[in-house]
Structure 1
Amino acid sequence: MIGAMTAEPSGLIYMVAGESASAAIASNIFNALLKYNATLDLEGDLAESWTISDDQKTITFKLKPNLTWADGHPLTSADVLFTWKLVIDEKTRSPYASDYQLVKKAETPDAFTFKVSYDQAYAPALDSWSGLQILPAHLLKGQDIHTTAFARKPVGSNYYQLDVWKNGENIQLSRNTKSVLGPAQIDKLITRIIPDNSAQFLELMADNIDTMGLDPIKYSRIIPSRPELQNNLNLYKELGNSYTYMGFNLKHKPFDDIRVRKAINYAIDKQEIIDGVYLGLGINIASPYKPGTRWSNAALSPYPYDAQKAKALLREAGFIDTNGDGILERDGKPFAFEIITNQNKEREKSAVLIQRRLKDIGIDVKIRAIEWASFISRFIKTGDFDVVVLGWGLGLDPDQYSIWHSSQQAPGQFNFIGYNNPTIDKLLEQGRTELDPDKRMNIYHEFAKVLLEDCPIVYLSAGYGLTAMHKRIQGIVDPIPPAGVGYDSHKWYIPEPLRRNEISAQ
């Protein structure tokens, strides 16, 4: 099966890379202790079972018997302990460390048992252990996790193992015969690196790739109008657990002024973006949670489009057009800034619509689209930007400590916009330790309310995942379960007459 992605992973140790491209490949290679099933309930992955102490502070995991790495070396609780220590090590600088730093004690009573204890009950604990991809201690001990060759030549335990990584071209995985979960149905997974979405689509039409994520125009207009494409492709649509946003660098003036942030929020017509860029395949949101879930505060409303209100707020903040050129000034400086985003057509188009609306109220905006690896290393990790247009892909637990807590601002961590609000910090801390689901829901509803009022970002839309899959790929569950179209891709298969020759992989 041949797929495509626009961004090449920076490495395949996901807990260090912290990016979706890395996650997409690494999830085929590594396992966690737990995983979510089709209906989004937790079940064992490497763990056969787990027990929680009466005081909710200790979890004991029992591993499945006879686990091995792809190189044949036994996979034991020592690997789990090693991975936990690695992630919490300050030198690792993992953006996910905060979840695991709450463990006050981790121990391995025997090769099949891993036990963790917390100072106080931690609500997202089980969810966190579904996110920690376990790494092999025997191959990584003593290595610098940022420079190790393992990041490009990993050895895992899941359905697939890495065969070949051709830089800038493709990543080839083959079935891992020692997979801890049994064999996958498809022999090889090839992911081609094709940065341009239109070029990907040409390859899909030419039958050189089997699957890709679609933009709304291809999903809604192009494929339905082409009978030959309809004959070859199945289309899938699902509301994802993600959203697109415009984020301010709160350490740069004038974005430290809430009036300026709110003015910009009022000046942007979100429905225009949803209709114009996403052809209506998006939802205007007021909370950083998937619409329709219990964590999404239905009482909140998005900032409406109101150019007059935006202008009034900017006047209040001291911005006036002193020389009549249409651009506002304060302290003799024109109000001008740059939006940066990665090379993603929808984000670039959204930025153009934002640029036009902000020009209407006297703000001069430039746009720069940057290749993903440079975007992360040169701008995001260094904080060298004014405004970003990006997306957050979220976990199933509502805890967003790693994104919004003021302690999470070091290079490589997720609070790269520099957000610091003691009220938000306190709510996030409370949410992590509240085990009552209803009380916890109320905490996150209040968190979303304060965040909306403080406006560190502008929510642009929650979008749909749109996927095209060649009909030769069979075994896909339809209708799509809550876990998504790809949750059981190891069960997909290609009937022998429809299989590709190796030469098809470009």
Structure 2
Amino acid sequence: MKKLLKAGLALMMACSLAACGDDSGGTSTEGNKGGTYIVAVSGEPNTLNPDTYSDDYNYDMAQNIFNRIVKLNNNYEVLPDLAETWEVSEDALTYTFHLVDNATWHDGEPVTAADAKYTYDTIVAENYANANVFAYVDEIVAEDDTTLVFKMSQPDASFLSNLAWYGTFVLPQHILEGQDWTTSDFNENPIGSGPFKFSEWNKGTDVRLVRNDDYWGDVAYLDQVIYTIIPDTNTQYQAWLNNEVDEIASTSIPVSEIESLQANGDYTWVTQVWPSPYYITFNLNDGPFADANVRMAVAMGVNREEVSEKAFAGYKPANDYYIPDIYTDALNEDAKQPDYDPDGAMALLEEAGYTKDADGYYFETEVTIFEGFEDAATVVIAELDKIGIKATLSVLDYNIWTEQVWNNQQFEITMVSGFQGPDVLGTGRRWTADGTVNVNFYSDPEIEELYAQALSSSDQDEINDLMKQIQVILARDNPLVTMVNYADVAAYKSYVHGHPMFTDEQGGSRDKAGFSELTYVWLDEIE
């Protein structure tokens, strides 16, 4: 099959796209130039400045518009990006990065170590979303145009991997200096240094990027990438089946359809377990779940196997731990989540002072989620019903959910997922006081002390032992209830090649590209 997407596609609406043409036969030539690649996204970004807020809807775009000092691939490995090489001092208090000498911004100005220093100093000064990446950085020094030095106040075992991850994209000092990042025009018209350049943002419809032909690294194959906004997962799926979009999230493929799709041979399949489990979390200050007994009742009353089978057809297996269970060496077998025990759950509710009403319920609550958690939430609500908690479902737009649930704590129970890596220390973002994705603001002094010790350690065995101690406290407090692992069973059209999710054996770029970096993606050609 050969396919080439015409660069002049007009997307007037998110669901009336023209993408991939017909299925004419032919042979492929590796690295075909050209084409438009259309990625369906579930929501619109708040901003295209990737360093101000944690925004999942701009993250994939940011990886193609901007560069970092180092980047993270889909094997959770730290790779060179703007930095070709780096050294860490023997005492782990000095990190020295040597940057490429030919990188340029999309306006032609050179990228220098001063840009990186400016970016990271501003993130810290303004306390932007991922400022805690630099929590143990005493000073950042741009020794010359291509040498960047971080001087640490104490060792930080998570520093390098965090620097490669979220909210650490290097931004242009010559454009942003003196501006408020939160209100700058840059947010809607970004200038980066990456393999693709920003083209246009059609609000409510799509964000478009074009190839950067002057890129300092490997020049991309694709002419254009379009991120089209389709909030409804069923609509995404139908658009993908109809060849109106080229890529959708794995969560938009109904699990009931996976077996039949695998049988027809028209897709490249990728299965990957991420350190990103789905979990329930609670309002710890107000409402029924401020009581630890009630939270424990939920942990005992929600059958994780039922969530796995009914919501995900078993493709996302149950997780019995308080951290992602791919971190096998750090798991505490004596501090697992409780076994399924609905009778024990109801006993705890009664111990907490609740009695059943005439309809058999102890109390009513609302499960407040954003799009993508509907299937899991439906099963959880049915499980809660069995232990006498009557729950209704509220599904919000992600941005509204962020404001209502996360920022203002106007909720009782919610669901979250997200990357808890790239190593076990990354789990701390969920339950440390300054954790960037600590949705319910949980905090425990003993955990803070143990986690600080783990961060300052250079001994992985010691880190694992400290993490096991932390799990004991999490098991006591139950600030979250892990349900299933995020096992990604994703399908890609057979005309798509070089994707960062594909292994070398699949002709992919997993070993050299960032998570969602599309530099090496190419499409079969139409004859």
TM-score (norm 2): 0.86
Q: CA 1:493–1:407 in 2, change beyond 3 Å: closer, same or farther? A: closer
Quote the residue 2:342 is aligned against.
Answer: 307
How far apart, CA to CA, are the structure 1 residues paired with 2:433 and 2:369?
23
How far apart, CA to CA, are the structure 1 residues paired with 2:50 and 2:38?
22
DSSP 3-state at the match of 1:190: strand
Query: Could you list the runs of 5+ residues in structure 1 that have no partner in the other structure?
Result: 329-334, 499-506
Quote the residue 1:253 is aligned against.
Answer: 287
Q: CA 1:296–1:187 in 2, change beyond 3 Å: closer, same or farther? A: farther
- Listed one character per residue, the Cα deviations across residues 368-392 of structure 1 (whole Å, up to 9, x for unaligned) are 0001111112332122111111212
Contact 2:136 2:155 in 1 (8 A): no
How far apart, CA to CA, are the structure 1 residues paired with 2:326 and 2:416?
22
Higher mean C-alpha deviation, range 374-383 or range 243-252: 374-383
Residue 138 of structure 1: which of 174, 180, 192 is its match? 174
Quote the residue 2:364 is aligned against.
Answer: 336
Contact 1:157 1:178 in 2 (8 A): no
Quote the residue 1:159 is aligned against.
Answer: 195
Answering whether residue 386 of structure 2 is matched by residue 351 of structure 1, we say no
Q: CA 1:100–1:485 in 2, change beyond 3 Å: closer, same or farther? A: closer
Superposed CA RMSD: 2.4
Quote the residue 1:107 is aligned against.
Answer: 141
Following superposition, the deviation at residue 77 of structure 1 comes to: 0.8
How far apart, CA to CA, are the structure 2 residues paired with 1:488 and 1:390?
24
Contact 1:236 1:468 in 2 (8 A): yes
How far apart, CA to CA, are the structure 2 residues paired with 1:486 and 1:33?
15
Q: CA 1:211–1:76 in 2, change beyond 3 Å: closer, same or farther? A: same
Answering whether residue 393 of structure 2 is matched by residue 367 of structure 1, we say yes
Letter aligned with residue 319 of structure 2: I
- Listed one character per residue, the Cα deviations across residues 171-203 of structure 1 (whole Å, up to 9, x for unaligned) are 111111232323011111111111111111111
Residue 444 of structure 1: which of 442, 467, 471 is its match? 467
Residue 398 of structure 1: which of 400, 421, 424 is its match? 424
DSSP 3-state at the match of 2:51: helix
- Listed one character per residue, the Cα deviations across residues 289-340 of structure 1 (whole Å, up to 9, x for unaligned) are 443334540625432221110011111111123x533122xxxxxx222110
Quote the residue 2:526 is aligned against.
Answer: 497
- Listed one character per residue, the Cα deviations across residues 385-439 of structure 1 (whole Å, up to 9, x for unaligned) are 111112122231322443322245xxxx532302121111111111110111111
Contact 2:63 2:517 in 1 (8 A): no
How far apart, CA to CA, are the structure 2 residues paired with 1:233 and 1:40?
24
Following superposition, the deviation at residue 256 of structure 1 comes to: 2.5
How far apart, CA to CA, are the structure 2 residues paired with 1:351 and 1:139?
44
Answering whether residue 51 of structure 2 is matched by residue 15 of structure 1, we say yes
Following superposition, the deviation at residue 160 of structure 1 comes to: 0.8
How far apart, CA to CA, are the structure 2 residues paired with 1:37 and 1:255?
38
How far apart, CA to CA, are the structure 2 residues paired with 1:292 and 1:362?
33
DSSP 3-state at the match of 1:490: coil
How far apart, CA to CA, are the structure 1 residues paired with 2:329 and 2:518?
28
DSSP 3-state at the match of 1:16: coil
Higher mean C-alpha deviation, range 483-492 or range 273-282: 483-492
Quote the residue 1:275 is aligned against.
Answer: 309
Q: CA 1:288–1:263 in 2, change beyond 3 Å: closer, same or farther? A: closer
Q: CA 1:288–1:183 in 2, change beyond 3 Å: closer, same or farther? A: farther
Residue 406 of structure 2: which of 369, 372, 380 is its match? 380
* Alignment of structure 1 residues 188-199 onto 2, 5 Å: 188-199=224-235
Quote the residue 2:455 is aligned against.
Answer: 432
Q: CA 1:57–1:76 in 2, change beyond 3 Å: closer, same or farther? A: same
How far apart, CA to CA, are the structure 2 residues paired with 1:405 and 1:292?
20
DSSP 3-state at the match of 1:392: coil
Deviating runs (4+, > 6 A) in structure 1? 480-485
- Listed one character per residue, the Cα deviations across residues 102-135 of structure 1 (whole Å, up to 9, x for unaligned) are 2111111211111111111111121122131111
- Listed one character per residue, the Cα deviations across residues 459-494 of structure 1 (whole Å, up to 9, x for unaligned) are 111122132212111234445787699666422212
Count residues in correspondence. Answer: 481
Contact 2:208 2:227 in 1 (8 A): yes
Letter aligned with residue 107 of structure 2: D
Contact 2:206 2:229 in 1 (8 A): yes
Contact 2:304 2:318 in 1 (8 A): yes
How far apart, CA to CA, are the structure 2 residues paired with 1:449 and 1:151?
43
Q: CA 1:348–1:487 in 2, change beyond 3 Å: closer, same or farther? A: closer
Answering whether residue 72 of structure 2 is matched by residue 36 of structure 1, we say yes
Following superposition, the deviation at residue 288 of structure 1 comes to: 4.8
Query: Could you list the runs of 5+ residues in structure 2 that have no partner in the other structure?
Result: 1-36
Higher mean C-alpha deviation, range 482-491 or range 429-438: 482-491
Contact 1:216 1:466 in 2 (8 A): no
How far apart, CA to CA, are the structure 1 residues paired with 2:152 and 2:472?
29
Higher mean C-alpha deviation, range 158-167 or range 124-133: 124-133
DSSP 3-state at the match of 1:277: helix
How far apart, CA to CA, are the structure 2 residues paired with 1:458 and 1:362?
18
DSSP 3-state at the match of 2:475: helix
Q: CA 1:298–1:389 in 2, change beyond 3 Å: closer, same or farther? A: same
Contact 2:218 2:519 in 1 (8 A): no
Residue 3 of structure 1: which of 20, 35, 39 is its match? 39
- Listed one character per residue, the Cα deviations across residues 188-231 of structure 1 (whole Å, up to 9, x for unaligned) are 11111111111111111211111212348635x4354369x935
Quote the residue 1:209 is aligned against.
Answer: 245
Q: CA 1:379–1:350 in 2, change beyond 3 Å: closer, same or farther? A: same
Q: CA 1:214–1:99 in 2, change beyond 3 Å: closer, same or farther? A: closer
Contact 2:113 2:145 in 1 (8 A): yes
Contact 2:70 2:79 in 1 (8 A): yes
How far apart, CA to CA, are the structure 2 residues paired with 1:440 and 1:147?
41
Following superposition, the deviation at residue 240 of structure 1 comes to: 2.0
How far apart, CA to CA, are the structure 1 residues paired with 2:458 and 2:216?
32
How far apart, CA to CA, are the structure 2 residues paired with 1:245 and 1:341?
11
